[in-house]
Amino acid sequence: MDCIFCKIIDGSIPSRKIYEDEEVLAFHDIQPAAAQHALIIPKKHIATMNDVQAEDWQLIGSVHRAAQIVAKELGVAESGYRLINNCGKDGGQVVFHIHYHLLGGEKLGPLHA
Ligand code: 5GP
Ligand code: ZN
pLDDT in tens, 44-91: 999 999 999 999 999 999 999 999 999 999 999 999 999 999 999 999
Tally of domains in the chain: 1
- Residue numbers of the domain that contains 23: 4-104
Q: What is the pLDDT of residue 113?
A: 83
Cα separation, 87 vs 48, in Å, equals 6
Does some domain include residue 111? no
Q: What is the pLDDT of residue 1?
A: 76
Closest to 45 (Cα-Cα) out of 90, 108, 2, 92: 2
The overall pTM is greater than 0.90 = yes
Question: With a cut of 0.95, is the ipTM above it?
Answer: yes
Q: Find out whether 100 and 85 touch, Cβ atoms under 8 Å.
A: yes
Does some domain include residue 87? yes
Does some domain include residue 77? yes
Q: Point out the catalytic residue in the list 37, 99, 101, 112.
A: 99
Residues in the chain: 113
Q: Is 28 a catalytic residue?
A: no
CATH number at residue 68: 3.30.428.10
Q: How far is the CA of 28 from the centre of ligand 1 (A)?
A: 9
